[in-house]
């Protein structure tokens, strides 16, 4: 099973990042402290082929404030903050258009790796 192995300055429980919170109760949703470069890294436990990652914006009016300019990358070794060696799976270059917004990477080409970063 995948685990969140590296979370930059968590403010709420990181276990809710995976197969997370679908009731959209804001206090159950995960987010980091304010930062210029927040990130999270997931360890898939073994090398896998990754084609899609689904990300959900938090509920509430501030979804667009926090869910913006995201990159999803896949790599074969752990990294902390510098994901230049990872291959890009998806990029969401704008703000969430509404609360509870869902972004799916839906990559044209799958990437083989063990670690997935979102930053």
Condensed to tens digits (0 to 9), the pLDDT of residues 32-48 reads: 666 777 888 889 999 99
3-state class percentages of the chain: helix first, strand second, coil last, to nearest 5: 10, 40, 50
The pLDDT score that the predictor gives to residue 73 is 96
Four-residue CA torsion sign, 48, 2, 7, 100: positive
Q: How confident is the model at residue 8 (pLDDT cuts 50, 70, 90)?
A: low
Query: What angle (nearest 5°) sits at the alpha carbon of residue 82, between those of residues 38 and 11?
Result: 20
Between strands 54-56 and 102-104, the pairing is: antiparallel
Instruction: Decide if pLDDT at 31 tops 70.
Output: no
Write the DSSP symbol of residue 36.
S
Instruction: Decide if pLDDT at 104 tops 80.
Output: yes
Instruction: Decide if pLDDT at 107 tops 60.
Output: yes
């Amino acid at each position: 099973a995948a685990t969140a192995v590296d979370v930059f300055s968590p403010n709420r429980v990181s276990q809710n990042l995976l197969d997370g919170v679908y009731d959209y109760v804001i206090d159950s949703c995960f987010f980091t402290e304010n930062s210029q470069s927040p990130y999270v890294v997931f360890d898939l436990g073994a090398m896998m082929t990754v084609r899609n990652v689904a990300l959900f914006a938090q509920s509430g009016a501030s979804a667009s404030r926090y869910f913006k300019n995201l990159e999803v990358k896949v790599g074969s070794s752990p990294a902390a903050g510098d994901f230049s060696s990872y291959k890009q799976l998806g990029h969401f270059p704008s703000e969430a258009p509404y609360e509870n917004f869902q972004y799916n990477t839906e990559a044209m080409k799958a990437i083989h790796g063990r670690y997935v970063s979102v930053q």
